[in-house]
Amino acid sequence: MRPEHDPSKNITPSRPFSHRSSNGSSNGTTIPPSMKTSPSSHTNGSHEKSESNGYTNGVGRPTGSFFGHDREEVTRILIQSLQDLGYQAAAQQLSRESGHELEGPAVAAFRNAVLQGEWTEAEAFLLGSVEQNQGAVSHGTRAIDHGISNSRGSLSNNSGSREGQLDGQLSGLVLSETATRNELLFLMRQQKYLELLENRDLGAALMVLRQELTPYSSNTSRLHALSSLMMCESAADLRIQAKWDGSDGQSRSQLLSDLSRSISPSVMIPEHRLAVLLQRVKDNQIAECKYHNTADSPSLYLDHTCSRDEFPLVTGRILQGQQDEIWGLQFSHDGTMLATASKDSTVLIYETVNFKTVHSLADHSEGGITYVAWSPDDSKVVSCGQDKSARVWDTQTGNCLLDLTDFTDPVTTAVWTPNGQNIILGSLTPELPISIWNLKGERIYKWEEENRSSKIRVHDIALSPDGNRLVAITSDDRIFIYDYWSRNQLAQWSMGTRMTCINISSDGRHVLVNMKDDRVVMLDIDTGETVQTFPGQKQSTFMIRSCFGGAGEELIASGSEDSKVYIWRRRSGELIEKLEGHEKPSGPESTSFVNAIAWHPHDPSIFASAGDDHTVRMYVTKALQGGHRQGPLAKTPLC
């Protein structure tokens, strides 16, 4: 184990112009891009009928529920799914035979208006308008005596009328309960504004900005960002600055998808509804499968379950190259190498086929190495030492390329920037708690406590995969969130207890923190709210590290002061296994702590643990233990 130092002893932007509604309403569930098709594939049924969403029961048509489900809902979802699958003729045949349409003429007209960029008509079909004698469309006020119950587009007492059009008046589509009319208008007019800028019609764009966008948003930063696009020199520059693919790209289809989330599903079925429902079934089965640890999608034919034998629970190999406690370890990004950091002041690099030592890096003086991190291209590692230094090594030659010795206290942790050109170091040195260095040994920047009268000492740092957010934990029980590029502090959370390590998930959404009160917690990186708690492991005195792991990072693993490895399910917090880990060495002061865990980056059936017993243990499945292996580490048996 590595003791935590007591200071008293002196020892990611998402798309800025996305059409996503700010009210958070949704008619469906987000699904993987591979399940998406262009919204334009949803065509209207082939025959006229009332748009009441009721079905017509013709001669010989089945009636009643479908195994307890509404027959019309099932049929309409099947029509949509057949279209998604590309079976247009089959969809039309089902519509004719059942008497149900996927959507009525008003919805089809609205869809067409958005995809064609006919914004006045799109607003009229969505929110309602009066058709003037001249044929022009303009917004009007909905009248109660026309069967309109409120300004949200709900209809009442309109039997026999077409939904969306009453006595020459377009009533608008029925919206979801959480939809906001102004936000919907803003989204459509934002697209209109961007397209005018793209066509270099700056005068018309300015009119839209002032008269059509500004009245519908109180978000000044949002309006300021849009107004700044007036300065773009070309359409290409606009698309880059707005992160928008233009009117000829998918922007209109994306807008339609976003708007559809605010329309009642009884009128406009959410996109790819059957695929979403099937994905939910799979997700629920995976969530209920205790030992699920594969990226393969479960079959729809059978209920899903995984065997315990398919989970890495057995020791496949023990690495015994170091002479003292091992405090940290990390796989290379390609999984072909493993680096370990030890109290014996060496870093060992193993190849992961036969697990032979490739390099022993031993330039640090006595005190131990606290951390090791691979560069993005795996050509270098940085090691952090109790000797108040950090060193950069060439992983091909084993040569020391850089020695950073500006610190007055131990260097505790390090991360590489995504381009591999800079290193961010965390330290117990109050004057250099977090600092950025280039590979010439030049310090580029250092973060300090905004209140200069107090000093911070950093135990661990993590950088989001996109390189935008830097997170640090300090010796005074706080978490700091910084914008890496602007260097500004975004948030500060007081946790009320000591923390020893921090990780950021690969999707950049969650932060994993080891706490000194025998628990690991997962926090929302935006709000700091606790998403999940993983209790059970023992941690009160020393530095213990955890990690995200398994297929899709659906598992959480941590070391512990009771010599065991703990593994939980990320979503539910369920403790899957408590594995016997490392043996206690002989000697009155010997300990048996498991100090760190590292999961293989490409093979979810392998992870490694580092312990006080001077060993690294490789945990594998029973199949891998028996030598039946594919992919990484496939050339020789692990045991």
Separation between Cα atoms, residue 548 and residue 523, nearest integer Å: 13
- Mean pLDDT score, 371-391: 96
| Chain segment 459-508, per-residue pLDDT in tens | 999 999 999 999 999 999 999 999 999 999 999 999 999 999 999 999 99
Separation between Cα atoms, residue 178 and residue 26, nearest integer Å: 9
- pLDDT at residue 116 tops 60: yes
- pLDDT at residue 136 tops 90: no
Separation between Cα atoms, residue 519 and residue 291, nearest integer Å: 21
Separation between Cα atoms, residue 419 and residue 431, nearest integer Å: 26
Phi, psi torsion values for 376, nearest 5 degrees: -55, -35
DSSP assignment string, 121-188: HHHHHHH-EEE-TTS-EE-----GGGTB-STT--B-S-TTSBTTBBTTEE--PPBPTT--HHHHHHHH
Kindly state the helix (H) or strand (E) to which residue 576 belongs, with its residue range. strand 575-580
Using the Cα atoms of residue 550, residue 37, residue 103 and residue 21 in order, give the sign of their dihedral.
positive
* Bridge partners of residue 411, in order along the sequence: 427
Where in the chain are the domains?
A: 103-128+172-271, 314-626
Separation between Cα atoms, residue 412 and residue 429, nearest integer Å: 10
Q: How far is CA 461 from CA 8, 389, 501, in A?
A: 21, 17, 8
pLDDT for the residue 18: 52
8 Å CB contact between 119 and 208: no
Among 354, 327, 351, 328, CA closest to 338: 351
8 Å CB contact between 514 and 593: no
The model carries a pTM of: 0.74
Q: Is the backbone of residue 31 left (phi > 0), alpha (psi -120 to 50) or beta? A: beta
pLDDT for the residue 144: 25
- pLDDT at residue 3 tops 70: no
| Chain segment 398-455, per-residue pLDDT in tens | 999 999 999 999 999 999 999 999 999 999 999 999 999 999 999 999 998 766 566 8
* Other Cβ atoms closer than 10 A to 62: 10
Q: What is the mean pLDDT of the chain?
A: 83
Separation between Cα atoms, residue 223 and residue 19, nearest integer Å: 14
Task: State what percent of residues in the chain have pLDDT above 90.
Answer: 68
Task: State what percent of residues in the chain have pLDDT above 70.
Answer: 80
Q: Please report which confidence band the pLDDT of residue 540 belongs to, taking 50, 70 and 90 as the band edges.
A: confident
Please write down the HEC assignment for all residues of 430-495. CCCCEEEEECCCCEEEEECCCCCCCCCCEEEEEECCCCCEEEEEECCCEEEEEECCCCCEEEEEEC
* Bridge partners of residue 329, in order along the sequence: 340
- Mean pLDDT score, 75-83: 96
Separation between Cα atoms, residue 380 and residue 283, nearest integer Å: 39
Name the residue type at position 507: D
Name the residue type at position 353: V
Separation between Cα atoms, residue 325 and residue 355, nearest integer Å: 19
Separation between Cα atoms, residue 214 and residue 216, nearest integer Å: 5
Please give the CATH number for the structural domain made up of 314-626. Answer: 2.130.10.10
pLDDT for the residue 367: 87
DSSP state of 392: E
**Does residue 330 sit in helix, strand or coil?**
strand
With 0-12 / 13-18 / 19 or more C-beta atoms within 10 angstroms meaning exposed / middle / buried, residue 380 is: buried
- Mean pLDDT score, 123-150: 46
| Chain segment 266-310, per-residue pLDDT in tens | 889 988 999 999 999 999 999 889 999 998 889 999 999 999 999
Q: Counting every residue, how long is the chain?
A: 639
Q: Which of 140-149, 257-266, 498-507, 565-574 has the lowest mean pLDDT?
A: 140-149
Instruction: Name, in order, each residue with C-beta under 8 angstroms of 414's C-beta and a sequence gap of 6 or more.
Output: 371, 373, 382, 384, 390, 423, 424, 425, 426, 461
